[in-house]
Chain A
Amino acid sequence: MYVPSVTNPIGDYVREWVPQLVAYLPESLQGETTCSVIAFAINAIICIIAVCLVNIGSAPILIYMERKVCAHVQCRLGPMRLGWHGTIQTIADVLKMLFKEVYSPQGADKKLFYLAPLIVLIAPFMIAALIPFGHNLLVANVDMGIPLIIAVNGFGVLGILLGGWSSNNKYSLMGSLRSGAQMISYEISFALVLLFVVMVSGSTNLMEITNGQAGTVANWMIFKVPVLGFLAFIMFFIASTAEMNRAPFDIAEAEQELTGGYHTEYTGTPFAMFYLAEYIALVTNSALAVTCFLGGFHAPCIGFESVDQILLKVPGVIWFFAKVYFMIWCYMMVRWTFVRPRVDQLMSFEWKFMLPVNMLLLVGGAAYIALSI
């Protein structure tokens, strides 16, 4: 019988270890199938817990971080009262949000109204499953990682469009249409930059892309290809900021014009899910940037033997999350320093600047490969 299996090193370990456990079962139950089913179940549960831990666990940290970064940019202190420097504030906020009443506005399409937040959460959770967090910490070692990421991103637009329409509110509808148009446009640049990465590294597997950047800092994608790598990184940064609907590209929920954008009518848990999706997208996009450009879980070795010895002693996961949180900090600083462009400026920026530059980037990448071989 065909049983799917989780292909990663921890999965291999579990598969080795399960037959010893199965030996304790009665004779009639033992066999190849039982082993593989149990191993798959255990592996699946480990994977689900890991993805949920990274995603849902980082959301409160990010909310706290966002408030603190925002406050310090604006010369305030931010949350200070609850706990040490306001650390318990986010937990209180999350609890408040979860205990709020869930209701839909009059005339809303109830099924779609509650389906939309679920659809929005598909993409970030799937992308989190593809990202290698460490040498052995990877849920799915998929050969077609980058195409899968590009494909799954479409669900985010869909959820936002459905949520905006089903709220039966003009603000929501306008917000969702705006953000839908924006996300579709910037998805093209996003995909093109990822294609540049694929072209230079010669693989669509995220693990192989990371391992292709092993060695010193000079081997990271951002420095590996002179100038073009840095340009691609900036392009990725802009495209992913727009893709996530974060400021300065947050015209979808421009408070002054559209109250709350597509989630104006959402309360309680569904609203929390939209919020969660936004912050998980922040983590996954930063993780993607780190994997594709900043060497993933590899330590930032600089070529001096004595320094590298110390740097290599730190596990890859810690390097990975340090880089991820650095990227998140960059996204947050951008959010609180730049002003929001108008809708037409945003669209013409994508179609008249980003897209041609990305095309040129692809041509430049091809030239680099042709010259370096």
Chain B
Amino acid sequence: MLENLLSNIPLTFPTGGIDIAFYAVAFVILAMAVCTVAVKNVLKSAVFLIFTFVGTAILYMLLQAEFIALAQVMVYVGGVVIFVVFTILLTSHLGEDNFSVNIPRTFAAGALSVAFVMVMVKSLFPAKELATMPSAAPEGYAGLKAIALRLLDYGPSGYIIPFEIVSVLLLATLISAVTVARKEKEEKK
């Protein structure tokens, strides 16, 4: 089975400028992701998580998907991680008691990640066109205008209905968040 897999791997990897950049960024992302999990201080792992997200954004940039890259930075770095950091800062005794991980859990985690890598290899590498595909979309393909026109299109290729449904969902979330956070008048007394 393994030989079968290996023979499917395209060994002629392209080595242009973008590919070198991709490998460098991917390596940094992997290192930062490992650091995120391995570092004992929770706040530091949040910082490493930010670097991981920024790295992912750079990958999107390399693929000419600029808006997705910016959305990645806007939502994850500017939103999610800031709130994670906030929550960490509001909890007391940060970094005093490092959580310890016992061995069975590590073993399970290792087994899971190996299985994940196997699945990825098995499903990705048989794709023959992997080595010959263009390394990035044409410029402006995933630009702001293209995405917006597609998103708000009424036609069969448009996404106007999911877009509107998501807006209703967001409104519902906002209202429920306000309801949860609101203090009842009886509580004040």
Contact = CB atoms under 8 A, between A and B. Distances in A.
Interface in B12-56: 16-18, 41, 43-44, 47, 50
Interface in B68-100: 70-71, 73-74, 77-79, 81-82, 85-86, 89-90, 94
Given A2-B16, A154-B73, A165 B43 contact: yes
B92 to A, nearest CB: 11
A147 B74 contact: yes
Nearest to A158: B82
Contact of B89 (A3, A173, A187): A173
A150 B66 CA distance: 14
B144 interface: yes
A299 to B, nearest CB: 30
A91 interface: no
Contacts of A61: none
B53 to A, nearest CB: 11
A346 B178 CA distance: 18
Given A1-B17, A147-B67, A161-B85, A154 B144 contact: no
B18 A2 contact: yes
A147 B70 CA distance: 7
Contact of A152 (B50, B66, B67, B73): B73
A38 interface: no
A2 B144 contact: no
Interface string A107-144: 00101100100000000000000000000000000011
A161 B144 CA distance: 31
A111 B39 CA distance: 13
B10 interface: no
B110 interface: no
B78 A153 contact: yes
Contact of B85 (A1, A148, A162, A204): A162
Interface of A, helix, strand, loop or mixed by DSSP = helix
B162 interface: no
B78 A148 contact: no
A154 B79 CA distance: 8
Interface string B144-156: 1000000000000
Interface in A139-190: 143-144, 147-148, 150-155, 157-158, 161-162, 164-165, 173, 176-177, 180-181, 184, 187
Given A144-B67, A151-B73, A152-B73, A158 B81 contact: yes
A180 B79 CA distance: 11
B47 A162 contact: yes
Contacts of B90: 177
B74 A151 contact: yes
Given A2-B17, A151-B73, A177-B90, A187 B78 contact: yes
A157 B90 CA distance: 16
Contacts of A157: 78, 82
Given A161-B89, A177-B89, A177-B90, A148 B70 contact: yes
Contacts of B143: 143-144
Closest 10 pairs (CB-CB, A-B): A154-B78, A2-B17, A151-B73, A151-B74, A147-B70, A151-B70, A1-B17, A2-B18, A154-B77, A161-B85
15 contacts: A3-B17, A111-B44, A112-B44, A143-B140, A144-B66, A147-B74, A147-B144, A150-B74, A151-B71, A158-B77, A161-B85, A162-B43, A164-B89, A165-B43, A165-B89
